[in-house]
Amino acid sequence: MLPPDFPIKKILIANRGEIAVRILRSCRDLGIDTVAVYSAADRNALHVRFANEAYALGGNTPAESYLRGEAILEIAKACGADAIHPGFGFLAENGAFADAVESAGLRFIGPSAHAMAVMGDKIASRKAMLAAGVPVVPGDTDAVSDAAAAAKSAAQIGYPVMLKASAGGGGKGIRVVHHAGEIESAFLTASGEAQNAFGDGRMYLEKYLIAPRHIEIQVLGDQHGNLLHFGERECSLQRRHQKLIEEAPSPVIDEKTRQRMGAAAVAAARAVDYISAGTVEFLWSQGEFYFLEMNTRIQVEHGITEEVYGIDLISQMIRIAGGESIEDCVGLVPRGHAIEVRLNAEDPQNNFLPSLGTIRNLRWPCGPGVRIDSSVYRGMEVTPYYDSMLAKLIAYGRDREQARRRMLRILQELHIGGVKTSAGVALQLLQTQEFREGNYDTGFLERYMEERKEHPVRRETPDDLEEVAALVAAIYRQRAGARRQVKTATQDAGANLWVAQARREQHGGSVR
C-alpha cells in the first residue's frame, strides 16, 4: 500500500489500448483514481469504461487526439490530476511534453526530458555510451549529410552496413546495404522515410552484424540515485524490425554474460541520470554484445520481466514519480521462464498487412501460467488509425519448456473472429526445432516465411463463426417451420373432423 501522504492521488493516462488498461489496473491496486482520454474512434474503448473519469480529445487520428499534448495537459489540470502516465508510443518519449507537464506543476511518470533527448538521438546516444565505456556497434559518431558521405563512411566501416535514422524508432528509416552499388538508393529512401516519420532525415551508419540476436535489459532508477537491472529479454523473433515473440530469460545468455550486460545497461542509464523504467537494447553476436539504443519508457514486453521477477513495473514507476525509493527491489532474483506473443490484427499470408474489421467472436484462453494483457472486447472495431496489436499473450512456467507448452495451449485455445491475426504464425514458430533449441536470430522469421512462401498453415477454426451460427440457425428455423406446418395441418384436420361431426348431428346424420 502507498503511504497516506503519497503525493499522487489521481493519474491521467495519456494513451489507449492495452497499455492504458494495464496502467489502470496498477492504479486500482494502489488505490489511485484514474482519468482516461480518448479519440472519437475509442469512445467505447475499455480504458474509457474502466477509468474513474474520461474526456474526449477529438478526431480519430493520433494527430487529432493522443498527440495533442496541450489538450491533454489542459484536461489534466482541469480535472485535478496530480500526474500523467504516457504509456508507450504517442507522447511517451516527447521531452517537450514531459517538460510541459512538470512546468504545469504535475508529475511526469517517466524519465527526464534530458534523458529522452540524449537517448532518443541515436548519434548522441552512441557518443554518450562511448564516453561511459559501454560497447557500441562499430560505426559513425556523426551524421552523414548525403549519399556520397554515406558511401565514404561505408567504405571505411566495411560492407555490409546498416543505414539508420538518427531520430525515431519502430524500424523506420533503416536499410541494410550489402555493396557500394546500393548505397545511394538506400540512403535516399531511408532518409526520406525518416524525414516523413520523425521530421528528421539525418542518417548514420553501423557495421551490420551477421546473424545477431536482439537482447534487451530492463532497468529501473529512482530519484535517490538507485539504479537496478532486472535481467534480459530475448527479442530476436521479429519481422521488419517489429517484434513478434519475446522470452525471458534468453536461452543463450549465461549468468556471467547476464551480469556483464546488466552492468553495461546500468552504466548506460547512469550516464543520463536515468529515473523510472527503461530498456537498454543490445545486439549479441558470437559471444559479444553491443549497445543498440535505449527506450526511455515502459516497453511492450515488460510483462515477461514482471512474471519472472515478481515485480509490478508500472506500480514502481508511479512510486518513483512520487519520490519513493526502489530499495525494496534489491535482491529480487529471476524464477522460471516467460514467453510473450504479440497478437496483431495482421494477415501473415499477405505480407503481414493490417487486418481491419469488427471483433465478432472472442474466446480468451485461461488456466495455470496464463496472462492476457488486452483491451479487446466482442463488438470492438479494429480501425486503421492505430497500431495493429490486439493483445499480449504471456505464458509463465517453471522452465522454458513448460512456458513453451503453455503458450502452445494459449494459441490453440484462442479464438478471435472477424479479423485475421498473427496467432497461426506464432504457433508454427514455437514448434520449430530452432525455437525449441533456442537457436534463432533476428533474421529467422523472414527466412522461415520465405521457405514457406508466406503461406503458413492455418490451424484455427473458421474466423467468422457467426456465418456458421447463422447457417445453423437458418436450418433450425427451416426445420422448426416445417414442424409448425405439420402441427397446423394436423390441428386443421382435427378441427375439420369436429365441424363435420357437429353438422352430422345437426342434420340428422347427413352432411350437406
pLDDT tens digits, 21-80: 999 999 999 999 999 999 999 999 999 999 999 999 999 999 999 999 999 999 999 999
Q: Which pLDDT value is given to residue 9?
A: 98
CA atoms within 13 A on the CB side of 223: 14
Higher per-residue pLDDT: 257 or 122: 257
Cβ contact 142:203 at 8 Å: no
| Chain segment 416-447, per-residue pLDDT in tens | 999 999 999 999 999 999 999 999 999 999 89
CA distance linking residue 210 with residue 286, whole number of Å: 9
Q: Which has more pLDDT, 418 or 510? A: 418
Taking the C-alpha atoms of residue 112 and residue 213, their distance in angstroms, rounded to an integer, is 29
Predicted local distance difference test score (pLDDT) of residue 286 = 86
Q: Which residue has the higher pLDDT, 202 or 430?
A: 430
In the predicted structure, residue 480 carries a pLDDT above the cut 70: no
Helix (H) or strand (E) holding 106: none
Q: Phi and psi at residue 469, in whole multiples of 5°?
A: -60, -40
**Which of 104-108, 220-224, 286-290, 375-379 shows the lowest per-residue confidence on average (mean pLDDT)?**
286-290
pLDDT of 476 higher than 80: no
**What local confidence, expressed as pLDDT, does residue 348 receive?**
87
DSSP letters for 394-427: EEEESSHHHHHHHHHHHHHH-EEESS--SHHHHH
Residue 95, beta-bridge partner list: none
User: What percentage of the chain has pLDDT greater than the value 90?
Assistant: 79
Q: Is 297 a catalytic residue?
A: yes
Mean pLDDT score, 403-424: 97
Stronger pLDDT, 24 or 501, i.e. the higher one = 24
Residue with cell 513453451: 404
What is the residue-wise DSSP string for 254-299?
-HHHHHHHHHHHHHHHHTTT--EEEEEEEEEETTEEEEEEEE-S--
Per-residue pLDDT, averaged over 236-255, amounts to 94
- Residues 6 or more apart in contact with residue 512 via CB below 8 angstroms: 503
pLDDT tens-place string over residues 309-325: 999 999 999 999 999 99
Does residue 359 surpass a pLDDT of 70? yes
Q: Quick count: other Cβ atoms within 10 Å of Cβ 74? A: 13
Q: Among the options 213, 233, 297, 319, which is catalytic?
A: 297
In this structure, the number of other CB atoms found within 10 A of the CB of residue 198 comes to 18
Does the structure show a pLDDT above 70 at 3? yes
Q: Which of 87-96, 196-205, 331-340, 460-469 has the lowest mean pLDDT?
A: 460-469
pLDDT at 462: 41
Query: Cβ distance 205 to 186 under 8 Å?
Result: no
Across 158-175, average pLDDT: 85
Give the pLDDT score at 510.
40
* Confidence grade of residue 498 (pLDDT, cut at 50, 70, 90): very low
Long-range contacts: 346-349, Cβ < 8 Å, 24+? 346/388, 346/420, 346/421, 346/422, 347/420, 348/420, 348/422, 348/424, 348/425, 348/449, 348/454, 348/456, 349/420, 349/454, 349/455, 349/456
Q: Which is nearest to 16 in space by CA: 2, 50, 403?
A: 50
Decide if pLDDT at 485 tops 70.
Answer: no
Residue-averaged pLDDT of the chain: 90
What is the tens place of the pLDDT at every residue in 120-135? Answer: 988 899 999 999 999 9
Q: What angle do CA 132, 212, 242 make, to 5 degrees?
A: 95
Mean pLDDT value of segment 150-156: 95
pLDDT at position 450 is: 86
pLDDT band, very low/low/confident/very high, at 199 (cuts 50, 70, 90): confident
CB neighbourhood size of 462 (10 A): 12
Cell numbers describing residue 217? 535489459
State the pTM of this model.
Answer: 0.83
Q: Which positions ≥6 away from 394 have C-beta within 8 Å?
A: 303, 304, 307, 338, 339, 340, 370, 371, 372, 373
For 119-146, give the secondary structure using H, E and C.
HHCHHHHHHHHHHHCCCECCECCCCECC
- The predicted pLDDT at position 171 comes to 72
Read off the pLDDT of residues 328-340 as tens digits, 9 standing for 90 and up: 999 999 999 999 9
Confidence bin at 240 (pLDDT 50/70/90): confident
Sheet holding 53-58, edge to edge: 53-58, 33-39, 10-13, 83-85, 107-108
Contact 276, 93 (CB under 8 A): no
Is residue 461's pLDDT more than 80?
no
Least confident of 56-70, 191-205, 226-240: 191-205
Report the alpha-carbon distance of residue 403 to residue 392 in Å, rounded: 15
